[in-house]
Amino acid sequence: MPPVEPALVPAPRTVEEAAPGGFPLTPDTPLWAGPGTGTTERWLRSTLGPALGLRFPPGTEDTRDGLRLRLDDTLAPEAYRLAVLPGRGVEIAGGGPAGVFWGAQTLRQLLGPDAFRKAPVRPGATRTVPHRIVEDEPRFRWRGLMLDVARHFMPKEGVLRYLDLMAAHKLNVLHFHLTDDQGWRIEIERYPRLTETGSWRARTKLGHRASPLWNDTPHGGHYTQDDIREIVAYAAERHIAVVPEIDVPGHSQAAIAAYPELGNTDVVDTSSLTVWDTWGINPNVLAPTDTTLRFYEGVLEEVLELFPADATGPSVFASSPPSSSSPSFSSFSSFSSFVHIGGDECPKDQWRASDVAQKRIADLGLADEDALQSWFIGHFAGWLAERGRRLIGWDEILQGGLAPGAAVSSWRGYAGGVAAARAGHDVVMCPEQHVYLDHRQDAGPEEPVPIGYVRTLEDVYRFEPVPAELTPEDAGRVLGTQANAWSEVTENQARVDYQVFPRLAALAEVAWSALPAPAERDFAGFERRMAAHYRRLDALGVAYRPPAGPLPWQRRPGVLGRPIDGAPPQR
C-alpha cells in the first residue's frame, strides 16, 4: 500500500494504509494486556476509556475483535508497532513498556480530538480506528521540558497536567527547576525554614526587571514530600523521568534568606536578605564553606529519597552512551539517576571580597574563583557518584574542568555542548537562542511581555540539536534536547500554556522524528498536521498561541519586556 500522511504529531517513521475502512471501538471492545504492559493498560482504562465511554472488558491474547498490548523484544525499547488490520483488531507491540505506551499515544491521536477529553461528548458513539500500520521509534533518548516553578510557583495539579501534556507528545524527561533566588519549592524536613521562609516573597516584579511595575501580592508555595512522591510516581506511570534541579552555588538567595549562614557573611549582612522579588543575576551566592557543603548534602540526601533512581536499568556511568537500539537500554532508568545542580550565572564578586573564600582557594591550591566553583561542583559530582547517581548542570560547570561522568545542559548556545561532547561528557542541547520558550513568538506589538529573540513555530521546527562540527563519536554524546520554560513573566497556567504551545509540539517532533536537515524540513506539512493537532489541544484545554496571534485576553499591554532584535546567533 502507498504511504499516507495522517495528522500525527510527532511524525512517525512509517505509516501505511493496511486496508480501506477501519476497526470500530465500542463500549464492549475487549482489552488484553500482556506481561510488562501494565502502565499502558492502566492509562487506557483511566484516560482513554473515560474520554470515549469505553469499558474495555478483559480480553485474551487470541482476541481478534479487540485491543491487544504486548512486548516484542525484536524492537528497540521505545519503539512500537501499531497494527490495525481487518479481522485482527488493534495490536500495539513495543520493544519495552515505554514503546507500548508511546504506541497508545498514537492510537489516541488516530481516534480524533474527542479522545483528549475527560468524559464522552458523544455517548454511545462508535469510534473507528483507521486500518493502519504505524512503525515508529524516537531519534533521541532525552526528549524533555524544563519547568521553572521557582520564579512563579505551579501548583501540583498543574505539574501533573503538564506531565499528561508531555506524554501526549512522547516527551520523556521533566527537568524540574525547584529552587532559585525567588523561591524554594521542595520540602526538606531537616531544614524547615527553606519552605517556611524561602518559599514566599513579599512582592513580585511585573514584567522585565527594568519594568516600573510591581505585583504587591505575596507569592509562593511549595511541594510537600508526598506531593513530590506523587509527581514522580505519576510521571513514572507515563514513562517520564523527573530530574530535580537544586541550584548551587548561584541563584540561591531564597536559601540564604532562610539560613543566613549559607551566604558570604564576611562580605554582606546575610541576615538582612529576603527572598528576592525581582529578576536577573543575583550577586548573593553561597559561601564555599564546609557548613554549606554539609547543608546541601543534607538537602540532597532527602532529594535522592524523593527522586529514586530505577535500579533495574543499565549503568549511567558507561564509557559511552548506550545506543537507542540496544536491547538493554531504558531511558527512564538512566535519566532518573540524574540530579541537576544548576551551576549557572554565579557572580564571583563576593568570593573575591571574602577572606573565607580566598583562604579556601589558597588551602586547595586553586588558581582563581572559577576553579573554586569547579571544586564546589566537583564535590557534589563525587558525592552523587558515591551514591550511584549522576550530576548534570548548566554549561558553566565546564569552567575549570568537570568531573568524569557529569553531563551538561548546553544553554548559552551550542559551544558548551560541543566542548562537553569533545571532552567525553554527555550533553542535552537546549540553547537559549532556539528553544527557550519564554522568548517571544512574534515581533508584533501585541505579543505579551516580549522577551528575547523572536522564535516562531517554524524556528523551533527547524532547530537541529546535533552541531554539524561534531564527529559521529562525539555526536553520540548528545543525549537529546529539551525546551526550557522559564517563568519570570508566566505567572499562571494560561501564560505558561501560551509560551509553551504550540512550540513544544514542534520541539517534540524535532526530538522524536527522523527529520531531514533543517532547511529541508517540510514545515508546510507540519502546519497541516498542526491544524488537526490544535483541536486536540483545544480538547485538553491548552491556552496556546493561535497561529494568527494572541487573543485579546492573552495580551499584556503596558508590561515591559526585553526584546532582542535580529536573528539569534547560530552557535
Determine which one of 65, 277, 345, 370 is catalytic: 345
The end-to-end CA distance of the chain, in Å, is 43
Q: d(Cα 259, Cα 270) in Å, to the nearest integer?
A: 9
The label of the residue with cell 557529569 reads 406
Report in angstroms the alpha-carbon separations of 548 from 249, 440, 494, 502, 509. 43, 14, 18, 12, 22
The label of the residue with cell 512550540 reads 503
Q: d(Cα 155, Cα 159) in Å, to the nearest integer?
A: 7
Take residue 536 and report the three cell numbers written for it: 486536540
Determine which one of 78, 180, 245, 369 is catalytic: 180
251 in active site: yes
Strand partners, 262: none
What value does the CA radius of gyration of the chain take, rounded to a whole number of Å? 24
Residue among 283, 251, 279, 248 at smallest CA distance from 264: 283
Give residues with Cβ within 8 angstroms of 357, minimum separation 6: 264, 287, 288, 350, 351, 369, 372
Count of residues making up the chain: 571
Residue among 514, 511, 544, 551 at smallest CA distance from 530: 544
Helices (H) and strands (E) in the chain, counts: 19, 22
Q: d(Cα 105, Cα 301) in Å, to the nearest integer?
A: 35
Determine which one of 251, 340, 434, 533 is catalytic: 251
- Active site (catalytic) residues: 180, 251, 345
